[in-house]
A = this chain, B = another copy of it.
Amino acid sequence: MIEKILIANRGEIAIRVIKTCQSLGIKSVAVYSDEDINSRHVKMSSEAYHIGQASSSQSYLNMEKIVEVALKSGADAIHPGYGFLSENADFADLCEKKKLNFIGPSGKSMRLCGDKMLCKDAMAKAKVPTVPGSPGIVEEVEKALDIAHEIGYPVLLKSVFGGGGRGIRLVHDEKELRQAFDLASGESKAAFGKSALFVEKFLPKIRHIEFQLARDTHGNTVHIFERECSIQRRHQKLIEMSPSPVVDQKTRDEIGQLAVKAAIAVDYRNVGTAEFLRLDDGAFYFIEINARLQVEHPVTELVSGLDLVKLQIDIANGKEIPFKQKDLKVNGCAIECRINAEDTFLDFAPSTGLISDVNIPSGPGVRVDTYLFSGCTVSPYYDSLMGKLITWGESFEESRERMRIALSDFYIEGVETAIPLYKTILDSKEFIKGDLSTDFLDRFKILDRLREDMSKEISEKTDAALAAGIIHSEFLKNKIKTQKDHGVGWKSQLGMT
């Protein structure tokens, strides 16, 4: 049985895993780079080890070093979190070789999930429908052009190594495809050392709906409902929720069974996610399996009552999943907003620096997973996710209301965030009626509305701001008076009567 887990990650997900370790009485081992010694995951863990320089390749991606620390500290298992080494099959293999229990799928299964082309084949055999596109990797731009011509523009150019929306480009014509091919190739080489691109039909006004999966070493497989993740920017998720407004129990059963089939097809182990696209006509296409715990797992936890990290540890311990598909019922509704350090008005460009002040919301139905504290730093070396605000309600409406208030209570000083954007989205009639799609922001010109909302908010606070402004001047003058002159009244000093 697992007694000590090394968490090969940082930020909010490392903290999330530590919380479950604490409640199970399992010791946690944190690792940190030069940049992270003052981080919360270091402070909360039972033990913490320095593993290298700030750059990920020198620290959180350094497999050998992490395994060395795991062995030195006496950890018997490794939790990879998401990102970094979480979907690195070589790392999973290395752990196995060193007799460290890797909390996730086998390297073999991970390779199958990670290779979009092999995975597509496996799904075809299992009769799980996938999106039309190139049958394999496209090495030459000319080949890509042929396929695009065949299936028709617009098409998506994707990287096999992508994930979480990274490395996906929408192109409308030949010229764009040529440019995008070069750029995508470059990015992929910079990040992964090699490039492997493929082409897929672009489907308009789609929803991104995914199913949470769990599969144990005894072959028991369940899905834990869907998550709708259609509110995105640049193909990366911003807002997620469970249940989806367009998934009824019949659809949930039906697509959930496809997800279960997909998990079996790749001999999946532990918890994972089957991602689907849903068209306006109700058709679902499988896209990929994310072979790890997802960023957005808390919404599933809130509507299922499960602790998914605990479930991961149980499965890694060889236990059977302690419930059956029929025992699971969706309870209420949960919404998550990702709190990224990004400037909405600069096309979501990164925003980093010292967090001089932070207020974290709380209250009934409110959960916040975050690494933030007043005085912490948001580093440019790692991704922009500072935390997640999740609210639960008996109904969609209650969870939305609670989210709306929690967003207003969330104050972060030092970096830009999408919190104002989320308020605008949550207030929009389209969001309220569930008219979601991955192009939601563009389709409803949300950024224009955001500008309006922000000036309205400013109008509402103008009186108070003017009051604070004039009192501040008084205060300053009195300070100056006190410093400069104790005999003469400050009014005469400033030329007043």
**Is A23 within 8 A of B401, CB to CB?**
yes
**Is A23 within 8 A of B307, CB to CB?**
no
Asked if A90 is at the interface (CB within 8 A of a chain B CB), the reply is no
**Is B24 within 8 A of A301, CB to CB?**
no
- Complex interface bits, A295-312 against B, C-beta within 8 A gives 1, otherwise 0: 000100100011100000
| A405: contacting residue among B22, B301, B307, B367, CB under 8 A | B22
**Is B301 within 8 A of A364, CB to CB?**
yes
**Is B398 within 8 A of A307, CB to CB?**
yes
Please tell me the number of chain A residues within 8 Å of chain B, measured between CB atoms: 25
Asked if A402 is at the interface (CB within 8 A of a chain B CB), the reply is yes
Complex formed: what's the CA distance from A307 to B364 in Å? 8
Closest to A399 in B: B23
**Is B331 within 8 A of A401, CB to CB?**
no
Complex formed: what's the CA distance from A398 to B322 in Å? 14
Would A394 and B364 be within 8 Å (CB), given that A19-B405, A401-B24 are in contact? Answer: no
Q: Which 10 A-B pairs have the closest CB atoms?
A: A23-B401, A22-B405, A305-B394, A19-B363, A23-B402, A23-B405, A305-B332, A362-B368, A364-B367, A331-B331
Beyond A20-B364, A23-B401, A364-B367, 6 extra complex contacts between A and B, CB < 8 Å:
A23-B404, A298-B364, A305-B332, A307-B364, A307-B394, A362-B368
- A interface residues, Cβ below 8 angstroms from B: 19-20, 22-25, 298, 301, 305-307, 331-332, 360, 362-364, 367-368, 394, 398, 401-402, 404-405
Q: List 13 A-B contacts (CB under 8 A).
A: A19-B363, A19-B405, A23-B398, A23-B401, A23-B402, A23-B405, A24-B401, A298-B364, A301-B364, A305-B394, A306-B394, A360-B362, A362-B368
